Chains A and B, each alone.
Chain A
């Protein structure tokens, strides 16, 4: 172990000017803008679901989509707050009410659509299109949020990546519900919950490794 005064000398000698991070709110808004652009581009490329205008009149669809949008917004805000050392750890709870609302509407839709479920509705071509939307929406959003959150490495990597993953999955689910006509309960469950947990899991593992890497390479010169 090197003596602490020597370490201080080394750190001071290697000091470079840094650009301060913008406020967490600003950064959350920036990322959400990017998310809006991604969804808009997907909608333009794929088109809205055929029964979109009917759905808008359906209360449960509106509530569900609203809840997933809210989850995305709150979770992104929480993630950007959590990487600031002096902000409360309690931010991790911030998206919970929206998550609860979102999950309960999915559950409600399952219940109401259970009767309408018909195995023939599940076509593999549609499933493949869904998967591609899922990847196209979640990949750029995951990568950008991880890069933006890489500073969280030394402090709260787990809660930051978890909330980031939640934000990505909520936004992705919103995109899915705008584009794909998936009213069958199993599909909703699989895609919404499955996609959410998949994206969250992937973000969690990749994110932690990525952040450890980013952190160790950042101070490799001093250790």
Chain B
């Protein structure tokens, strides 16, 4: 979005102001907030973008986890959004912002303290996947053997097994998917399973 002439002139004045006097940034934030209260989205975006690093640095002093710091920044921004009408332009912006940020940081610390007391974080052993990845390391070799065996089936049987048994499609869905008739699918599955049994039994004999 191209900056409007007002926000460009504002940006210029901000740069000038920053060079002229310390603490003037707060005055600019105050001006931006007043515009945001009036519905000026560009000013509001600028304000949030400028205060976010400030909140982040404050939060980073107290929280160690970078994710928590970012969560705190977002909580603070959401709170500012929800109560932006409580800012009174005749008063300085800094204390208003700091009070909100402090509150959210304290909340976050309290919550993470409670979590540390009551919860233990998951380790790799606790993890489980809904997908076909290996949840049980002991099953991995068998899974690999089955994959290889399926791979050795003729193409029609392989597709029938994959769709009906591995992806658990219904006969109708599988028929629509492959273009094979339902009877042909049934026959292919039956033969495929028989072949797999033979292949896997053979594999075991070989082992």
Contact = CB atoms under 8 A, between A and B. Distances in A.
Interface of A: 1-2, 4-5, 7-9, 11-13, 15-21, 23, 83-86, 151, 153-156, 215, 218-219, 222-223
Nearest to B67: A1
Nearest to A23: B88
A12 B103 contact: no
Contacts, number: 92
Interface stretch (B40-48, B146-154, B162-170): B40-48
B82 A219 contact: yes
A11 to B, nearest CB: 5
Given A15-B36, A23-B88, A83-B86, A219 B99 contact: no
A154 B44 contact: no
Contacts of B40: 15
Contact of B86 (A13, A16, A84): A84
A86 B99 CA distance: 6
B39 A15 contact: yes
Nearest to B98: A86
24 contacts: A1-B67, A2-B74, A4-B70, A4-B77, A8-B49, A8-B52, A15-B36, A15-B41, A16-B39, A20-B37, A21-B85, A23-B88, A83-B86, A84-B86, A85-B96, A85-B100, A86-B95, A86-B99, A153-B82, A154-B79, A155-B103, A219-B82, A222-B81, A223-B78
Interface of B: 36-42, 44-45, 48-49, 52, 67, 70-71, 73-74, 77-79, 81-89, 91-92, 95-96, 99-100, 103
Contacts of A11: 44, 48, 77-78, 81
A223 B81 CA distance: 12
Contacts of A21: 85-86, 88
A151 B73 CA distance: 20
B67 A13 contact: no
B37 A18 contact: yes
B44 A15 contact: yes
A132 B24 CA distance: 57
A23 B91 CA distance: 11
B82 A1 contact: no
Nearest to B71: A1
Given A4-B74, A18-B37, 12 more contacts: A4-B73, A5-B49, A11-B44, A12-B42, A13-B41, A15-B41, A86-B95, A154-B79, A154-B83, A155-B79, A219-B81, A222-B78
Which of B79, B83, B103 has its CB near the most chain A CB atoms (within 10 A)?
B83
Given A9-B45, A223-B78, A85 B83 contact: yes
Contacts of B83: 85, 151, 154-155
B88 A8 contact: no
Contacts of A7: 74, 77-78
Contacts of A86: 88, 91-92, 95-96, 99
Nearest to A14: B81
A2 B74 CA distance: 9
B67 A12 contact: no
B37 A17 contact: yes
A155 B99 contact: yes
A4 B45 CA distance: 12
A218 B85 contact: no
A153 B100 CA distance: 12
Which of A5, A153, A155 has its CB near the most chain B CB atoms (within 10 A)?
A155
A17 to B, nearest CB: 3
A58 to B, nearest CB: 44
Contacts of B37: 17-18, 20
A152 to B, nearest CB: 9
B139 to A, nearest CB: 34
A9 B46 CA distance: 10
B38 A17 contact: yes
A9 B103 CA distance: 24
Given A86-B99, A218-B82, A12 B48 contact: yes
B67 to A, nearest CB: 7
